[in-house]
Amino acid sequence: MTAGFGGAGRTLGGNAMSMARSATVDIGTTMRLVAPDFATVSVRASLRYDPDDPYAVCVMFHPDGTDADQVAWSFSRELLAKGLEEPTGIGDVRVWPWTTPRGESVALALSSPDGNALFEINRGVVQRFLRRAYSLVPRGRESGYVDMDTTLTKLLAGGV
């Protein structure tokens, strides 16, 4: 399963450029894959944010516990943030707040032609991840981090 919905780009201008090239957010965590009967299986994963792709977050799943066969899903940072408070998303990625026997969580539902998966993520982990991501690129300032020349070149070459 791989999906990509974020815009590619590089930062423009002074301090923002040096910050984006030197800093990313990468938080390792354990998510729970939820079966139809609500039994769960722990899955090692990482939440990643790179200011070079300022509108997107990436969830990297490590199914065998290593970095060898990672599965990556990229989607809107705003979708993840809204999903902390209310159900959001349609189609391939949906996010909503969820109270489970383990406490306050966030549900992440992923859908592809190969199948569907529902994951439970600790709410505190998502909040910490987003705080760190917003410290690199504040909400509403993403457009200042997109290099339109590079993005257009990639689009015209079929690379985005």
pLDDT at 2 over 60: no
Asked if residue 32 belongs to a domain, the reply is yes
* Residue 152 domain-assigned (yes or no): no
Residue 145 maps to a domain: no
Cα distance between residue 33 and residue 43, in whole Å: 7
The pLDDT confidence band at residue 110, using thresholds 50, 70 and 90, is: very high
The sheet carrying 115-122 orders its strands as 71-76, 56-62, 40-49, 25-34, 115-122, 103-112, 93-100
Residue 120 lies in a domain: yes
Report the pLDDT averaged over residues 61-80: 84
Among 33-42, 96-105, 145-154, the least confident range: 145-154
- Residue 148 pLDDT: 67
> Do residues 55 and 78 touch, judged by C-beta distance below 8 A?
yes
Where would I find the beta strands (DSSP E) of 18-124?
25-34, 40-49, 56-62, 71-76, 93-100, 103-112, 115-122
For 74, the token pair is 């990229």
> Is residue 8's pLDDT more than 80?
no
In the 8-state DSSP scheme, what is residue 8?
P
In this model, does residue 91 exceed pLDDT 50?
A: yes
Q: Is residue 125 domain-resident?
A: yes
Residue 5 lies in a domain: no
Is residue 67 situated within a structural domain? yes
Residue 84 pLDDT more than 90? yes
* Least confident piece of the model among 8-12, 37-41, 94-98, 148-152: 8-12
Q: Which residues pair with 74 in a beta bridge?
A: 58
Range of the domain at 118: 14-138
Looking at the domain assignment, is residue 61 inside a domain? yes
CATH number at residue 97: 2.30.31.20
By percentage, how much of the chain surpasses pLDDT 70? 74
* Number of domains present in the structure of the chain: 1
* Residue 67 pLDDT level (bands cut at 50, 70, 90): low
Q: How confident is residue 74, by pLDDT bands cut at 50, 70 and 90?
A: very high
